[in-house]
Amino acid sequence: MAKDYQQDFGSVITSRTSFIDEIINLARKSSIFYLLFGLACCGIELMQTGGPRADIDRFGSVPRATPRQSDLMIVAGTLTYKMAERCRLLFEQMAEPKYVISMGSCASCGGLFQYAYSVCKGVDKLIPVDIYVPGCPPRPEALTEGLLRVQDKIVRERWFSERQKIGQVRPGLGVDYKVTA
């Protein structure tokens, strides 16, 4: 992992950002439009996150119905194999730079339905996931924290050509800057 880390993520995550990068990142992190992609019960909690109590709009995140205009795909719920094709398609329709949150156990690894014949064992088998939010389903606050993590990631990035390259080299791999306990 250490070698991969250096190779793939070193230049994006650990490099210093210039002043102009910081301004750009400040704007980008405050305007994360998310794609409405509720698949199961997590979708309800996703709606609640946009609702009055949690109000993700405070961070400049509004839902968009079309993938072309969204920056963040929140995969909320059980991803069946049939939906997996659509998920991949929608992700590919999004414009760079794009991010993915895998919300809840089912999206992260199949969760409760892991042994079901029809359920995809994790959305990271299909598309690169940036943030995993645990929970079944996660509280709105937990999803908000996931969004803040995406913001953390954005402010560390240099401009997205680097990122695009990485997505092609290692799809389906989150960045490991945390240390396991």
Q: Which residues bind other proteins (CB under 8 A)?
A: 23-24, 26-28, 30-31, 51-55, 57-60, 62, 64-66, 68-69, 71, 93, 95-97, 101, 105, 108-112, 114-115, 122, 124, 129-136, 138-139, 141-142, 144-146, 148-149, 153, 174-181
Q: Which helix (H) or strand (E) covers residue 27, if one does?
A: helix 19-29
Phi/psi for 131 (5° steps) reads: -135, 135
- Nearest distance from residue 154's CB to other proteins, in Å? 10
Taking residue 10's Cβ as centre, other Cβ atoms within 10 Å add up to: 11
Beta carbon nearer to other proteins, 84 or 142: 142
- Nearest distance from residue 82's CB to other proteins, in Å? 20
CA 80 remoteness from chain centre: 18
Beta carbon nearer to other proteins, 136 or 169: 136
- Give the integer Cα–Cα distance in Å for 120 and 64: 25
Taking residue 139's Cβ as centre, other Cβ atoms within 10 Å add up to: 14
- Nearest distance from residue 18's CB to other proteins, in Å? 15
- Nearest distance from residue 25's CB to other proteins, in Å? 10
- Nearest distance from residue 43's CB to other proteins, in Å? 15
- Give the integer Cα–Cα distance in Å for 5 and 69: 31
Beta carbon nearer to other proteins, 54 or 84: 54
Beta carbon nearer to other proteins, 24 or 75: 24
Beta carbon nearer to other proteins, 80 or 108: 108
Buried b (16+ CB within 10 A) or exposed e, 103-131: bbbbbbbbbebeeeeebbbbbbebbbbbb
